[in-house]
Amino acid sequence: MVTATKIENSIFNARRYTCLSGVAITKGDLLMLSDNTASLGTGVAPVFAGVCAGDKSASDYSESISVWTDGIFDIPVAPNITCSTGDLLVLSGQYVIPGEVAQVMSGALVGKALETASAGETIRVSLGRAI
């Protein structure tokens, strides 16, 4: 399972988003946002919600989830993609990739790469206010 790992706490707490009941989401999953509803990231460059802050069971009937929207995280880069320190990253499924200007401007920004990575490596990424 591909997940992000929180490295550095920020002064900001996780925020709550609506989510679908009956869906399992694992702590560290990268989430996308649509109409204030967080769900597992799919596709390339959807609007990024944040990193899931705790496990959610498919059978818990919960319709909200805690999401970290800022901080420093270790996040995997997509296979066959490289990135450099300072690249602005967007979501690609459960990975990050360097974003294009239009993607970043549309709200797809995940964060800034704090180190250079080869394809498939996990790198340190600054999210939200930590950028």
Into how many domains does the chain fold? Answer: 2
Radius of gyration for the alpha carbons in the chain, expressed in angstroms and rounded: 14
Q: Are 60 and 26 in the same domain?
A: yes
Question: What is the residue type of 126?
Answer: S
Q: Are 28 and 76 in the same domain?
A: no
What does pLDDT average to over the chain? 89
Tokens read off for 66: 């805690």
CA distance 57 to 91: 23
Tokens read off for 41: 């990231």
Q: Are 26 and 75 in the same domain?
A: no
Domain that holds residue 42: 5-68
Domain's final residue, options 45, 68, 91: 68
Q: Are 40 and 54 in the same domain?
A: yes
Mind listing the pLDDT tens digit for each residue in 95-122?
A: 999 998 888 888 889 999 999 999 999 9
CA distance 72 to 57: 26
Mind listing the pLDDT tens digit for each residue in 69-97?
A: 988 999 999 999 999 999 999 988 889 99
102 contact partners, CB below 8 Å, separation of at least 6: none
What pTM did the predictor assign? 0.88
**Chain centroid to CA 38: how far?**
11
Q: How confident is the model at residue 10 (pLDDT cuts 50, 70, 90)?
A: low
Q: Are 31 and 47 in the same domain?
A: yes
